[in-house]
Amino acid sequence: MTEITTFAPLTKLRPFKTNWRVQVKCLHSWRQNTSYGDTFEMVLADQWGNKVQATCKRTHMYRVQREIPVGKWGVIENCQMNPAGGQFRATRHPYKMSILDDTVVRGSSLSDDRIFLSLEDYEKIGSKTQKEIPYLIDVIGRIHELGNVVTVKAQGEDIKRVEFRLMDSQGNDLLCCLWGPYAEQIEAFIDKYNETPVVCLLRFAKINFFRGEVQITNAFSASVLHLNPNEPEVLELTERLSNDHLQLAPVENSTGKKVGKRIQYDWNDAEIKPISEVLASNQVGICKIICSIESIDTDYAWYYIGCNRHKKRVNKLPKIDYEVLTVKDKPMFRCEICNANVTHVAPMFKLHMVVKDDSETCNVMLLGSVATSIIGSKAEELWDGSYAEIEDPEILPEPIIALLGKSFCFGVSINSDNVTSGSCTFLVLEVSGSDKLLSIETNSEAITDVGTSSSTMSSGAVMMLDSISTEDPKTPYSKRKEDDADLQEQSSTSKKLCSKQIKQEKAKTE
């Protein structure tokens, strides 16, 4: 077996385990400032051309830069995969790689000069709608209708901006607007090569909308600008565009720790919505959905190992670090909240499911006692006792498989990731019973025709709506969707039982 077969393709990476081993090339890197501090971001590619965004904290930045500089190949082992969310996604990969304390990063002897372009078609870009939140793209074209580089006020600071249009080889054009150092790069190039036709290759660019028109712009510092590029992969296209008859026509960050606060919701006032309306929502809030469970999303493990005190995920320490301190063969873990090595850990539910009503499907996530309320067992009761990572996420405990095809009324949270970042995974905060069922003329009732007012389940009782689907339950399958990171378990303190009433249909008169 050759060494190449020992590396996993980036497309295979999923969150259910961390002991992945990949060989990748760093295509681009940049620093990004967030409310949690500076991070180091990279776009990595494997030898098959698959790409993934990777991130690490500032403390690991210099180690990663040293081992895998831009344009070089390296090997990464033991990395964590999380949903690729935020205002934009650097690649098409549904997950983002996180480099942790125990991640191994080293150089590689592989030599491959390809830059792994993924050029986007102009017509496809023009067909995007404002509701769509796409990934970053590569685009190439000839600059024309070049405007003057101007200095404008943006977020209280002076910044340069330039607008122009990009034209492809078929004559299609796109509006383009570049900011800051990218505008300065255009300005310097034009001053030096004033009479030369300019071909622009913009990598990891963002699709934006300006006055109803699709616009290409740089994604903060994540983009890369090449003017009259000479890379072999685009040289022919560059020459063809350069020989075109067209002439160039000039024409606050928050800091500090995020404070967690448990919010109590009044679910009696929460509106019942069909899933299609929840997916289209443009406001943060809560609502209830009445849905049936279609499948279990096995891209994720059904549990994580968490600290008993804080209910947050813990990292298993390498054996060399804890073998002297191990208690009765129980491994040692690191809790960042406790700021200590701990052994008081336990499996905790983090269940991802695909649910549907008669309007649409979406992903939901259930944590802790909310998941326990519909499964009827604690995570520790279903756990096999092994602290090793799950190798086959398709193998699920029978009580979880038994949920398929059953219907529930879920109280869900619509957060900022759902509204602004296109995430279609919603956190379930409550499981409610039904107070009212509306009968209709047909024999089978549509889920979105059911009206309820919330009454929270009492602990230990599982209140389900009778299954209204005539289909056989489907087997679990992998379905990659974005979702929130590990969230602290939330639940309401209201505990009301409910009674069921059926509204009688009035007799029709001819």
Q: Where along the chain do its domains lie?
A: 3-107, 122-242, 267-308+344-503
Q: Quick one: average pLDDT of 199-216?
A: 86
Taking 90 as the threshold, does the pLDDT of residue 473 lie above it?
Answer: no
**DSSP string for 404-435:** TT-EEEEEEEE-HHHHHS---EEEEEEEE--S
pLDDT-based confidence at residue 328 (cuts at 50, 70, 90): low
Q: Over the stretch 99-124, which tens digit does the pLDDT of each residue have?
A: 998 999 999 999 898 999 988 888 88
**Is the pLDDT assigned to residue 205 strictly greater than 80?**
yes
Handedness of CA 479, 481, 487, 490 (dihedral sign): negative
Two tokens at 403? 């949920």
- Which pLDDT does position 264 carry in this prediction? 64
pLDDT surpasses 80 at 452: no
Q: Of 294-298, 319-323, 402-406, 479-483, which range is least confident?
A: 479-483
Question: Was domain 267-308+344-503 assigned CATH 1.20.1050.10?
Answer: no
SS3 10: helix
CA 251 centroid distance within chain: 40
Mean pLDDT over each residue of the chain, to the nearest integer: 77
State the fold for domain 122-242.
Answer: OB fold (Dihydrolipoamide Acetyltransferase, E2P) (2.40.50)
Spatial separation of the C-alpha atoms in residues 190 and 186, rounded to whole Å: 6
Q: What value does the mean pLDDT take over residues 167-185? A: 89
| Domain 3-107 CATH class label | mainly beta
DSSP string of 332-361, one letter each residue: PEEETTTTEEE--EEEEEEEEEEEE-SS-E
Question: If you average pLDDT over residues 274-295, what whole number do you get?
Answer: 90
Residues pairing with 166 in the sheet: 143, 174
Structure tokens, 368: 């802790």
* Cross-strand partners of 227: 200
450-477 per-residue burial string, b: 16 or more CB within 10 A, e: under 16 = bebbbbbbeeeeebebeebbeeebeebe
pLDDT (average), residues 422-450: 56
Domains 3-107 and 267-308+344-503 share a fold: yes
What's residue 353's pLDDT?
Answer: 95
Check if the beta carbon of residue 146 is closer than 8 Å to that of residue 162.
yes
pLDDT at 478: 42
Q: What is the pLDDT of residue 462?
A: 39
Least confident of 245-254, 334-343, 426-435: 245-254
